[in-house]
Amino acid sequence: MQINYDKFSISLESDEGLEELLEYLQLGDIRLTPNIHSRVVSRLRFSARKLGHKNFGELLAHLKSDQNAHDSILDWLDKGRSYNEEDRSFSPLINRKTSLKDYVNNSKVTPKPKKPKIKKRKLLPLEILPGIKMPADEKNLDLIYDFLLNRGINYQAYKINHFLRRLHARMKRIETETYREYHNVLKRNPREFNLLMETFSINVTRFFRDKELFIALEKKIFPTIMKDTSKNIRIWSAGCAIGPEPYSLAMILKDLQEKYPPNKIYLLATDINQALLEQARKGIYAKQSLEETDHPRRLKYFTPLDSEQFQLSRQIRNLVSFQQHDLRTTPPGKDFDLIMCRNVLIYFSRSQSKVFFEQFYSSLKSRGYLVLGRCEVLPQFIKDKFEIIDTKNRIYRRKN
Ligand SMILES: C[S@@+](CC[C@H](N)C(=O)[O-])C[C@H]1O[C@@H](n2cnc3c(N)ncnc32)[C@H](O)[C@@H]1O
């Protein structure tokens, strides 16, 4: 049975309180793909409407005071889901025993406040795909999990099937058959940890990924920065993979320089993975990574090498300085006008990302911008220090 998600595209008076609600449901820390994120938000919106609320904040207040509503909503989000790695989707709610509908039918819209007794759930359950062969000591996966968690990596928060495939590939490579054996190697050999991290790093990227964001940067954010800044613009793309993200910024800035000539551009792009940076410097890309690049820019800045590959012009490549940097160490600079860190924090636990956010804050100029990925949110603890500029495109601005 397929659910038609369009029927949940209901609007509220405002989306106020969404991020707090996601955090409260422990979804803020769970890395949802944009597709899943929008489905979850649609369901929450639908729930809020059903329960007679004007915005997510009201729904949150309701859930805090009503354990049954809280559980029903989680059932509504969780039940019967399975994860399909091919199209990165969960199959929708089937065979669920309780539902929001049951809850609404069996209770008054304004519930009696009850003492909240919230079940702690670490994760949303993700089913392991049948295609994945687990080692004989399957239960010892926790050893690896704890080992990584102690180093700030929370793999369970994101794409477990993908992670397991890569973990098993590493285990095979060094001829270990059980999680316990591999755990012993990890403990003894820091190099293996690095190799695992490199294998695990998902480096999917493309030019102008999430096009709307780049339009917002081009039309609103950069003109504001370029008017404010008389000499230099300092930008840091953190976790840049093979470069399309900083290069997309470079193309936009180059074009804007025709309007705002005096600005000098300093564009730093960093990643933990040296091999990716080497590839980035060459600036050669498969044609699929240009799919979201508009035609005039393709013509202006790319040269076809053959029918499948394109090289980015030297003029744009020269605008970006690539540098190896591990986000878990001291930031590579300060006084940035804009820091972009998208689809990177997904690898890390909440406590580790907290450190990153503190570092981003201190590396930004006062009134500098922070841009996150589509399914990443600014954590509660630091919200007061940023102004929300564009919720959808995850653009925030450091307060004075
Ligand atoms: C999915 S890519 C994101 C690329 C680009 N930001 C985008 O959204 O298109 C994630 C990148 O984060 C990098 N990464 C992972 N852990 C990192 C760390 N500790 N420090 C710096 N970069 C890291 C990976 O090597 C990978 O290239």
pLDDT in tens, 186-211: 999 988 887 887 777 667 789 999 99
Q: Are residues 264 and 380 in the same domain?
A: yes
Q: Are residues 314 and 191 in the same domain?
A: no
Residue 129 domain-assigned (yes or no): no
Is the pTM higher than 0.75? no
Residue 320 domain-assigned (yes or no): yes
pLDDT in tens, 127-162: 445 567 888 888 888 899 888 877 766 665 455 666
pLDDT for the residue 34: 53
Q: Are residues 318 and 272 in the same domain?
A: yes
Residue 32 domain-assigned (yes or no): yes
pLDDT for the residue 59: 87
Burial of 232-266, coded b for 16+ CB within 10 Å and e otherwise, reads ebbbbbbbbbbbbbbbbbbbbbbebbeeeeebebb
Residue 127 domain-assigned (yes or no): no
What's the CA-to-centroid distance between 163 and ligand 1, angstroms?
15
Question: How far apart (Å, rounded) are the C-alpha atoms in residues 152 and 274?
Answer: 21
Q: What backbone phi and psi angles, to 5 degrees, belong to 312?
A: -80, 145
- Give me the percent of the chain exceeding a pLDDT of 90: 42
pLDDT for the residue 10: 67
Q: Choose between 368 and 353: higher pLDDT.
A: 368
Q: Choose between 264 and 115: higher pLDDT.
A: 264
What's the CA-to-centroid distance between 160 and ligand 1, angstroms?
17
The domain in which residue 168 lies consists of 138-200
- How large is the average pLDDT for residues 73-82? 58
Q: Are residues 290 and 380 in the same domain?
A: yes
Residue 111 domain-assigned (yes or no): no
What's the CA-to-centroid distance between 65 and ligand 1, angstroms?
39
What's the CA-to-centroid distance between 346 and ligand 1, angstroms?
9
Q: Are residues 275 and 382 in the same domain?
A: yes
Q: Are residues 195 and 318 in the same domain?
A: no
Q: Which of residues 200, 222, 246 is at a domain's end?
A: 200
Count CA atoms within 13 Å of residue 152 on its CB side.
12
Q: List pocket residues of ligand 1, CB cut-off 6 Å.
A: 201-205, 209, 239-241, 245, 271-273, 276, 326-328, 342-344, 347, 373
Kindly give the number of the ligand 1 atom that is closest to the alpha carbon of 242.
27
Residue 269 domain-assigned (yes or no): yes
Q: Are residues 244 and 289 in the same domain?
A: yes
pLDDT in tens, 303-314: 999 988 999 999
Q: Is the pLDDT of residue 109 over 80?
A: no
Q: Are residues 72 and 10 in the same domain?
A: yes
Instruction: Compute the CA torsion angle 367, 371, 376, 381 (nearest 10 deg).
Output: -10
Residue 343 domain-assigned (yes or no): yes
pLDDT in tens, 325-354: 999 889 999 999 999 999 888 767 677 788
Q: Are residues 361 and 220 in the same domain?
A: yes
Q: Are residues 221 and 335 in the same domain?
A: yes
- The lowest-confidence range among 5-9, 71-75, 255-259 is 5-9
Of 271, 339, 347, 348, the one to substitute when testing ligand 1's pocket (max ligand atoms within 8 A of C-beta) is 271
The amino acid that residue 368 corresponds to is G
Residue 60 domain-assigned (yes or no): yes
Domains held by the chain: number: 3
Of 344, 355, 376, 393, the one to substitute when testing ligand 1's pocket (max ligand atoms within 8 A of C-beta) is 344
Q: Are residues 295 and 380 in the same domain?
A: yes
Q: Which of residues 172, 200, 228 is at a domain's end?
A: 200
What's the CA-to-centroid distance between 241 and ligand 1, angstroms?
5
The enclosing domain of 301 has a CATH number of 3.40.50.150
Q: Are residues 255 and 388 in the same domain?
A: yes
- How large is the average pLDDT for residues 348-369? 90
Kindly give the number of the ligand 1 atom that is closest to the alpha carbon of 341.
6
pLDDT for the residue 152: 65
